[in-house]
Chains A and B, each alone.
Chain A
């Protein structure tokens, strides 16, 4: 039983993941509001866009931590999402500010549906991640 770097990584990831879960829930709610006409797409995009890069950064951060801790299983687990994030951001619409969502196209049903689906999938992923990290943390702590 020792508090290794790996254990630290898992604890950090656990906290980060909790934060990401809140991000995703906010994302889902925001798009639901758009769909039900509660909000103006410009306002909604203005509130959503600043959160995109932090979310990506956090996810990349703990993935990198896992690399340093040589937790390959966790790295592999996160790799697909990381790649998706990078690609998604590279293909974003022409924008001068950070973010992904363009108020002129966000109301397109395809875009809305995609964003909502993405939100739900990510929520599921982060929830699973959360428990996986919790388990891994305990495992690491115990096994050492």
Chain B
């Protein structure tokens, strides 16, 4: 078999790690236990321990585990709180700091070595390994600097003041560390804190780095500047940082990443712990507590100064938040308050000072490797990173929404955390805190690797948080949180910064603890919690934080943050994250309760997030996704991959306005939203690069932006050299010239272009709709016509053989056509013709003036000719009566036909002759294999002698239909097939006629008007839509792209006329296309690339129109950005198309191997980005690619690629064809149907459409574990809807919905819902109608009893389940994991 890799195109192949050679078997090693199911959720914990902790980690684990730890934690929290109050304790931190410094030195040395930035990087790399982090770091840094500086000042201020001396000294030591961490400043402190050190660091760095790290996204984002400012906190930094200018502290964020990374350092965790403890020790200086704080991370700085932790606490709070891990927990605690998420969190956070701990913990882990020092450092960095992030986020948020958020958060968080940590230390609880921190830290990171760890982290986080929260809360956490979560970014940031800055700096040193604490807390804490804390804790703790830290921040910083960040932070973090944690947390909460305030929130959160629904979690996740684009997950432990409200859509991460105007992703999207700069980078990522386009999508249906600007102008502005249409992404050199964004030629702007038709004035060309909208339609002048626009021409070819009459379709066809005859698109020139065939051809003369249709029989098939050619294709409006007459007669005309032969080939040739003068659309109704005349075929399907591996006959048996299609294409004729065959009809050959003439294919296997009512409904709906939908004639589509890129392969139905030109005799609104792209030249001299698809067509009204879609994407040279920008849906879609090619050109076995290898390649290459310590027992994958293995498994189980032999060849061929032509969202649904629980539909949120209230049940994943006998479930497969009623369903439900007294009386084959008069029935019917109306084709509906013999219809789609011949999702993951090791 060919190398599977090859299958996928260049991209894939090249890099594939040889290592994992594809084991052909899909059978895969299954291993074992399904435990998976159970595992997933909780797994985090359990697994986490095993895999994750390499031992060292284990210690942490205990805590993580939740229950065990929980108690302690809880205990801890209180302590923390206690500490908090004592914040004086925090001050100790100061001491701690000093001590930390010592600690840090080593650690920091290690980590920091890199210098602030590098430190970030380094740490990130080392710990998280996430390249992302690094990347982000850079970005962050940029932005950070400002922030950092600010923060630095703040911190510095604080630290310096109180701790100043200590700090500085520390810093001296720290610097290294801090740098490593990124926090330059922090380092210093961090050193102390590391714990203690962290605090200092934090601020400075922390904010940036630390916060950043964990949050990465945030940090990075923050950096951006906006946040930074807010960071003003940064101010402190400046001063602090000065030293730290390192600020890079921003790096800190990176640092955070490291923290995450640290996980590896599980062993270190211990250090951390030690740190925690050690800190104490260290701290002894003081601040043992401080150390704690430090551990918390950021807190340290603050803490220290304050020494107390209290101030720090506040800070900590923020930090905690910031620190994904720590923060996460904290947040959650707040979370409980959850609802208030933001606020609650904030509050919590305050309490949560502990969070910092978490951060610390993480750091320590990271540091771990480095050793004690690391701990110190790590704490700082980690926490810092995180915390900073949170804070920043909050602040940052203000400027920018999400993105800033994250960034900001990251930065901020650090400081807050630092504070918190400190405080916690003071908290007496130092030990506890330490524990906490350790746990958190450790767990966090380590868990990360594992992913699942959520619970673990969460616990920690919570504990930590709680602690902080308390402390924090006092200050303003509440207020903060709110803001941070939502508004935070915007307002929050600014406000914060100022406050923090002021508070800090001023008070900073002197008052530090007190004042700073307060001041800080408010800001810091809030910010943190909102953003990072919530989300982070859960996920972040484990898998998330790491990833997020590393990858996320960066990404978020740039593109992501903006978009998703906002939402993310708020929702995702708090909820999603919390969710995960919760499990673990629950225990924690218990412990936390002590914290009282905190616990409250925490508890609330957890419940809400965690306990509540998986869905919620998911949603959180999804949200997080945005922020956390850079996060990675351990698939082995993360079970809930799909948010309850559907998968998120990744948007290109642009920092400026391009984002607003970019093309709707439903129309035009790229598999990678950050284009790799070089093909080697693309190969490194092992992801396919391509675009998925749905060019003629019905825009009127789109409520959001259904506005399609249509421009009628004598001049269409295009580049003179590459003919690109002017678009929103061009650069205006001046008022008179513009620079093409594809070929970079500078063109003159015609005078007309500066004329604004709206205001009738001349002026800025930017007002033109061409420059404001990425999707636009021009009405073309005559230069765009080779001939006068053709009229709408419709030819119907009807199979009237015995078999066809038996199915009864003819009656239905005539009825529908009669109904819709007036709605068929066209104008007065519209022409129509009918042609029936069996063994002979029957033409119908419909010339105007005849009294009735005239039928002519042509028995000669070898040399087709048209009898009375003028009367066959007639003007619809002139001969309407005859057409109606004919349609009424047709069913009876042939009702006694006994002829079984089918001369499809000859009929197609005749219709080609009919329409060749004008072009048009030929619609074929075919029910049997063509057996007569040209194009006759033979049954090739060989029942059941096929090995499971290979499926023969996927390709055409003859090129007759292909050649005919090419002839049609040349004459602008397209052939659409409706296949209603009951037996094998060789779709592989027949569909060629549609494939190359840009037609479409509908398939209704075993159609019969009486026996298959579901199919009849579908046919009816499909055919109505088919007749009345928009249509474009004589179309061509050209895809242009920026120099350096080229189109490698096209997927879809069309004929490729040149390297970038598709010939589409017809274009319909339901056709999707895909193109694989290759990078021919390096894109080093450009920051963005554009794709432009221009579709030139003749509308049914005879207008020549051009529809132009433009997509602009940033270019990156960072692997982490590539991952962060990956569009998993687009990738899956493109992989499916590539696999279809492979299955036809090579074999089905190769295609399956290639799919598996695609997943494997991605896992292997991403693995290189994850620190080795996190790889243990984990299956890391970026958040943005998390569903890749799941969907690949779903594809392997789909009827297209299934290895089982029980799939009819025609069904398989049709499925393969669908993979090529279905628009993305429907293709995704066909692989992985939507499953909704509908037994409690009334409890769900609703939306309103057209005056109807539509319930929105959550999406469930397709695992039988989600199916309860007491429930009822609706599965939406695209073409079919199944309502599965559980055996133990309540009689009430049966009565209300189905109008039957009980389950036993539900009949088989029920395909409609009775219209009973009660709210639940109405809701369900509204929902089902809504689902059916929201797709462009028909769907059948069927009620299935759980004990029905047809239940396989439903359960075959449960792709996460194990079957006799296929693996469960968990087994598949295990298989992949095994392959990645070999």
Answer yes or no: B869 CB below 8 A from chain A CBs: no
Closest 6 CB pairs of A and B: A107-B1056, A37-B1058, A109-B1048, A108-B1049, A96-B959, A94-B959
From known contacts A37-B1059, A94-B958, A94-B959, infer whether A107 and B1050 are also in contact, taking CB-CB under 8 Å: yes
- Distance, CA A107 to CA B960, complexed state (A): 20
Closest to B1047 in A: A109
Q: A41 near B: Cβ within 8 Å?
A: yes
Q: Is A109 touching B1046 in the complex (CB atoms < 8 A)? A: yes
Verify if A42 is at the interface (C-beta below 8 Å from B): yes
Query: What distance in Å separates the Cβ of B10 from its nearest Cβ neighbour in chain A?
Result: 8
Determine chain B's interface SS by DSSP, over half rule. mixed
Does B1058 contact A95, Cβ atoms closer than 8 Å? no
B955 within 8 A of A: yes
24 contacts across the A-B interface (CB closer than 8 A) = A34-B1058, A40-B1057, A41-B1056, A42-B970, A93-B959, A94-B957, A94-B958, A95-B959, A96-B958, A103-B966, A104-B962, A104-B966, A104-B1056, A107-B1050, A107-B1056, A108-B1048, A108-B1049, A108-B1050, A109-B1047, A109-B1049, A109-B1078, A110-B10, A110-B1048, A110-B1049
**Contact at B1058–A107, with CB atoms within 8 Å?**
yes
Q: Give the nearest-CB partner of A104 in chain B.
A: B996
B1056 cross-chain contacts in A, Cβ below 8 A: 41, 104, 107-108
**Contact status of A94 and B1048, CB under 8 A, knowing A42-B966, A107-B1058:** no
Other-chain contact of B1059, A94, A102, A103, A107 (Cβ < 8 Å):
A107
Given A41-B1056, A109-B1078: A96 and B956 interface contact (C-beta under 8 Å): no
- CB of A85 within 8 A of chain B? no
A103 to B966, CA, bound (A): 9
Q: Is A94 a contact partner of B963 (Cβ separation < 8 A)?
A: no
Instruction: State the interface size on chain A (CB cutoff 8 A).
Output: 18
Closest to B1057 in A: A40
Cα distance A96–B992 when bound, in Å?
A: 14
How far does the Cβ of B737 sit from chain A's closest Cβ, in whole Å? 28
Is B1055's CB within 8 Å of the partner chain A?
A: yes
Digit string of A72-111 for contact with B (CB within 8 Å is 1, else 0)?
0000000000000000000001111000001110011110
A122 within 8 A of B: no
Indicate with 1 or 0, residue by residue over B1008-1045, a CB within 8 angstroms of chain A CB atoms.
00000000000000000000000000000000000000
Residues 1043-1075 of B, flagged 1 when their CB comes within 8 A of A and 0 if not, give 000111110000111111100000000000000
Chain B proximity mask over A21-58: 1 for CB below 8 Å, otherwise 0: 00000000000001111001110000000000000000
For the complex, what is the distance from the CA of A42 to the CA of B966, rounded to whole Å? 8
Verify B1059–A35 contact, CB threshold 8 A. yes
Task: Kindly provide the distance from the CB of A88 to the nearest chain B CB, expressed in whole angstroms.
Answer: 14
Give chain B residues whose Cβ lies under 8 Å from the Cβ of A40. Answer: 1057-1058
Inter-chain CA distance A35–B1060, complex, in Å, is 10
Residues of chain A with a CB closer than 8 A to B1055's CB: 103-104
Is the pair B963, A96 in contact by a Cβ cutoff of 8 Å? Answer: yes
B960 — nearest CB in chain A belongs to which residue?
A96
Cβ of B958: which chain A residues have Cβ within 8 Å of it?
Answer: 94, 96
Which residues on B sit within 8 Å (CB–CB) of A34?
1058-1059
Residues 1076-1111 of chain B, each 1 if its beta carbon lies under 8 Å from chain A, else 0:
001000000000000000000000000000000000
Please determine whether B1078 and A41 come into contact, CB atoms closer than 8 angstroms: no
A37's closest neighbor in chain B, by CB? B1058
B window 935-994: CB within 8 A of A: 955-960, 962-963, 966, 970
Residues of A near B1078 (CB, < 8 A) are 109
Q: Point out residues on A near B: beta carbons under 8 Å.
A: 34-37, 40-42, 93-96, 102-104, 107-110
Q: Tell me the smallest distance from the CB of A37 to a CB of chain B, in Å.
A: 4
Chain A residues lying within 8 Å of B1047, measured Cβ to Cβ, are 109
- B957: chain A residues at CB < 8 Å are 94
Q: 20 more A-B contacts (CB under 8 A) besides A37-B1059, A95-B959?
A: A40-B1057, A41-B1057, A41-B1058, A93-B959, A94-B955, A94-B957, A94-B958, A94-B959, A96-B959, A103-B1055, A104-B962, A104-B1056, A107-B1058, A108-B1048, A109-B1048, A109-B1049, A109-B1078, A110-B9, A110-B1048, A110-B1049
List the A side residues contacting B10 at CB < 8 Å: 110
CB distance from B62 to the nearest CB of A (A): 55
Tell me the nearest residue of chain A to B1058, going by C-beta. Answer: A37
Q: What is the CB-to-nearest-CB distance from B387 to chain A, in angstroms, rounded to a whole number? A: 50
Write out the residue numbers on chain B whose beta carbons fall within 8 Å of the beta carbon of A35. Answer: 1059
**Max count, chain A CB within 10 A of own CB: residue among B970, B1049, B1060:** B1049
**Closest Cβ of chain A: how far from B8's Cβ, in Å?**
11
Q: With both chains docked as a complex, state the minimum distance between the C-beta of A55 and any C-beta of chain B, in angstroms.
A: 22
With CB as the reference atom, state the residue of chain A lying closest to B1145. A105
In the complex formed, the residue of A with least CB distance to B955 is: A94
Q: How far is the CA of A108 from the CA of B1051 in the complex (A)?
A: 10
Shortest Cβ distance from A107 into B: residue: B1056
B1036 → chain A closest CB, angstroms: 12
- Beta-carbon nearest neighbor of B6 in chain A: A110
- Nearest residue (CB) in B for A91 is B1145
Determine how close the nearest CB of chain A comes to the CB of B877; give it in whole angstroms: 36
**A92 → B minimal CB distance (Å):** 11
Q: B1221 → chain A, closest Cβ, in Å?
A: 15
Complex CA–CA separation, A89 to B1056 (angstroms): 24
**Complex Cα–Cα for A36 and B970 (A):** 21
Chain B residues, CB < 8 A from A108: 1048-1050, 1056
B1-47 contacts to A (CB < 8 Å): 9-10
Q: Please report the C-alpha to C-alpha distance between residue A35 and residue B1056 in the assembled complex, in whole angstroms.
A: 12
A109 to B1058: give the CA distance in the assembly, Å.
11
Please tell me if the beta carbons of A94 and B956 are within 8 angstroms of each other in the complex.
yes
List the A residue with the shortest CB-CB distance to B970. Answer: A42
Q: How far is the CA of A103 from the CA of B965 in the complex (A)?
A: 12
Interface centre among B960, B966, B1046, B1050, by most A CB within 10 Å? B966
Residues of chain A with a CB closer than 8 A to B960's CB: 96
B residues less than 8 Å from A37 (CB atoms) = 1058-1061
Task: Compute how far the CA of A108 lies from the CA of B1050 in the bound complex, rounded to whole angstroms.
Answer: 7
When chains A and B are docked, how far (Å) is the Cα of A104 from the Cα of B956? Answer: 13
Could you tell me the distance between the alpha carbons of A40 and B1063 in the complex, rounded to whole angstroms?
11
* Beta-carbon nearest neighbor of B962 in chain A: A104
User: Looking at A34, A37, A40, A94, which has the most chain B CB atoms within 10 Å of its CB?
Assistant: A94
Residue of chain A at shortest CB distance from B965: A104
Q: Determine the distance from Cα of A34 to Cα of B1059 in the docked complex, in whole angstroms.
A: 8
A46 to B1056, CA, bound (A): 16
Q: How far is the CA of A16 from the CA of B1287 in the complex (A)?
A: 80
Complex: A135 Cα to B1049 Cα, angstroms: 45
Most chain B CB inside 10 Å of its own CB: which residue of A36, A107, A108: A107
Chain B residues with Cβ under 8 A from A96's Cβ? 958-960, 963
Q: Which residue of B lies closest to A108 (CB)?
A: B1049
What separation, in Å, do the CA atoms of A87 and B957 have in the docked complex? 20
| Complex contacts, A36 vs chain B, CB 8 Å | 1059
B-side contacts of A103, CB under 8 Å: 966, 1055
8 Å CB interface, B621-660 against A: none
Q: What are the residues of chain B within 8 A of A104 when measuring CB–CB?
A: 962, 966, 996, 1055-1056
Point out the residues of chain B lying under 8 angstroms from A110, CB to CB. Answer: 9-10, 1048-1049
With a cutoff of 8 Å between Cβ atoms, the chain B residues found around residue A109 in the complex are 1046-1049, 1078
B1141's closest neighbor in chain A, by CB? A108
Q: How far is the CA of A100 from the CA of B1057 in the complex (A)?
A: 18
Neighbouring B residues of A93 by C-beta, 8 Å: 959
User: Nearest Cβ distance between residue A36 and chain B, in whole angstroms?
Assistant: 8
* Nearest CB of chain B from residue A56's CB, rounded to whole Å: 20
Complex Cα–Cα for A28 and B962 (A): 26
Task: Say how far A100's CB is from chain B's closest CB, in angstroms.
Answer: 13
CB distance from A90 to the nearest CB of B (A): 15
Which residues from chain A contact B1057 at a C-beta distance below 8 Å? 40-41, 107
- Give complex CA distance A65, B652 in Å: 64
Residues of A within 8 A of B1048 (CB): 108-110
User: Which A residues are CB-close (under 8 A) to B1061?
Assistant: 37
Within 8 A of A (CB), among B313-334: none
Query: Which chain A residue has the least Cβ–Cβ distance from B1055?
Result: A104
Shortest C-beta distance, B1051 to chain A (Å), equals 10
* B1059: chain A residues within 8 A (beta carbon): 34-37, 107
